[in-house]
Amino acid sequence: MLFSSHPPFTGGPPVRHPGTDDSGQRWTFGFPEGLTAEVHTRGARLHGLWVPDRHGTPADVVLAPRDPARTATAARYFGATVGRYANRIARGRFSLDGKTYQLTTQEDGHCLHGGTDGFDARLWEAESVHTPEWTGVLLHLRSPDGDQGFPGNLDVTVSCLISRDDELSFSYAAVTDAVTLVNLTNHAYFNLEGEGAGDILDHELTVDAARYTPVDGDLIPHGDHRPVSGTAFDLRRPLRIAEALARPEVGGGYDHNFVLSPRGDETLRRAAVLHAPATGRRMEVLTTEPGLQVYTAGQFDGTVLGKSGTPYRAGAGIALETQHFPDSPNRPGDPSPVLRPGEEYRSRTVLRFSTRD
């Protein structure tokens, strides 16, 4: 599948394209003059998102590999729905109701984004959703008891919808037949100047968080959440990403959880704003989740070629992952990711797009 600089869809109900490669089925949907998305059923993956700039010219702002097979290796999390547990669980171990569970782990000995064969690698079922105000796809996956070491049969539903008001929403729901953990997010990388346009160093980032989670060399949390005041993690006012990354305490870039201010309900609240002055595109992130993982792709090394044929190097995009906190199953003071039979996991994140002069 080759990259296209033009939106693949111009309106009407979502269109399904039979899969010819490892991406599974492709779905395209959107509204004329607004947003257009491309979603793959392999990994419930946001593969592309065309957003108009200040002049009304659309560009794809989501990073994805030119070769779909790369989503099984170096680009496995690009745009994917990750789970059962987004982020890291230390040593892949946790306890529930007095019983200890061991998950599959990656090379560093920890469990990342659900394990070695997480939801990003699965082929999801999909159906279209279309109303006068919303259009998109509803995706479903059944994760069996013992999947990657997690207990309980888990039924997961993810809706990916575009509104006429230039919003892209991800709504997650899950039920289980045994006590388990659930923490889902979408792992898209964004460049609001356009995929392949360069890096995101001139973007401005705002994060509505007064505290962040310090981590060790393996990116596992340690100690209490710390105030951002006086540190490179204070993004409560817009800050150019290049300026933020120049601070020594950031090291190779952000890969940190920011502690939002949860209200204890399903009310959407603003978590972050990303703005590209060069194009005027502005993305506001609203969520019901308690945390935001900010990752500035400092480990990109050029081995993945993007849709435009451009090698993705450090800073080619930024991931703003709304989720529960890393390693929270082993940190009793953090919001709980435990789901029990008879309960329903629900989470929602909205990306609201606009332009500024």
Rounded-to-integer distance, Cα 20 and Cα 22, Å: 7
The pLDDT value given to residue 3: 39
pLDDT at 296: 96
Q: What DSSP character marks residue 192? A: T
Give the model confidence (pLDDT) of 51-82 as tens digits: 999 999 999 999 999 988 888 898 999 999 99
What tens digit of pLDDT does each residue of 24-50 get? 889 999 998 899 999 999 999 999 999
Question: Residue 263 has what pLDDT?
Answer: 62
Q: Catalytic annotation on 324?
A: no
Select which of 40, 110, 113, 187 is catalytic. Answer: 187
From the candidates 204, 289, 321, 324, give the one annotated as an active-site residue.
Answer: 321
Q: What is the pTM of this model?
A: 0.95
Residue 130: active-site member: no
> How big, in percent rounded to 5, are the helix, strand and coil portions of the chain?
5, 40, 50
Distance CA 64, CA 45 (A): 10
Is the Cβ–Cβ distance between 108 and 218 less than 8 Å? Answer: yes
> CA–CA distance from 190 to each of 212, 296, 331 (Å)?
22, 10, 30
Per-residue model confidence (pLDDT) at position 18: 76
In the predicted model, residues of the chain with pLDDT beneath 70 are: 1-11, 19-23, 262-265
Q: What are phi and psi of 164, to 5 degrees?
A: -65, -15
Q: What pLDDT shows up at residue 8?
A: 55
For the chain, counts of helices (H) and of strands (E) = 1, 30
- Rounded to an integer, what distance in angstroms lies between the CA atom of residue 9 and that of residue 28? 6
> Which pLDDT belongs to residue 17?
85
> What's the CATH number for 15-355?
2.70.98.10
